[in-house]
């Protein structure tokens, strides 16, 4: 299988790096003006990721029956491993509990939405199915962990 590495790097730079630095600049220069609206951006981000992945799944509706237990199990294992690794790295660097939890969820998500977009652009809609399924696994596990952790404040929870 041919992997267009440099084209993919260019896509990642355009989709991730450039917007990230634009966001840093906007936040730096307009801090007071945007602080009030910052809480809505995570919801907007999740909405777009769900939209992209729902579109991929809709395009692949004929292939949904081919999503096997192995794909689901691999997605769950990858996600849980990512969350444990994030929490472990946070612990190794002696981060406070809130940061460890945040790192666990962020690393557990592992840019699955980006993986979906790259797969569909460079390998076809069928190749994007596992990544799209992984997004939904990530959303479910992250939501479950957030719900569990929300019930225990960092002061109550053991490190």
Query: pLDDT, tens digit, for every residue of 11-44?
Result: 999 988 998 899 899 989 998 888 888 888 878 8
Per-residue pLDDT in tens (0 to 9) along the chain, 159 residues: 788 999 999 999 998 899 889 989 998 999 888 888 888 887 887 788 778 778 877 877 777 777 888 888 988 998 899 899 999 999 999 999 989 998 898 887 767 778 888 888 899 888 888 887 888 888 888 888 888 888 887 664 455
Q: Which secondary structure element, helix H or strand E, spans residue 28, and what is its range?
A: helix 18-29
Residue closest to 2 by CA, chosen among 118, 122, 129: 122
Domain positions in the chain? 42-150
Question: For the whole model, what pTM was predicted?
Answer: 0.67
């Amino acid at each position: 299988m041919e992997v267009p590495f440099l084209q993919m790097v260019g896509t990642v730079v355009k989709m991730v790096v450039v917007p990230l630095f634009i966001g840093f600049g906007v936040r730096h220069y307009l801090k007071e003006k945007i602080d009030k609206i910052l809480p809505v951006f995570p919801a907007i981000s999740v909405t777009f990721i769900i939209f992209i992945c729902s579109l991929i799944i809709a395009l692949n509706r004929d292939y949904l029956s081919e999503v096997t237990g192995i794909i689901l199990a691999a997605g769950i294992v990858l996600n849980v491993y990512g969350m444990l690794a994030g929490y472990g790295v946070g612990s190794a660097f002696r981060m406070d509990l809130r940061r460890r939890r945040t790192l666990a969820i962020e690393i557990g998500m592992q840019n699955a939405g980006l993986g979906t977009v790259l797969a569909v652009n460079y390998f076809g809609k069928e190749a994007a199915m596992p990544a799209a399924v992984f997004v939904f696994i990530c959303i479910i596990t992250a939501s479950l962990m957030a719900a569990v952790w929300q019930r225990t404040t960092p002061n109550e929870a053991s490190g």
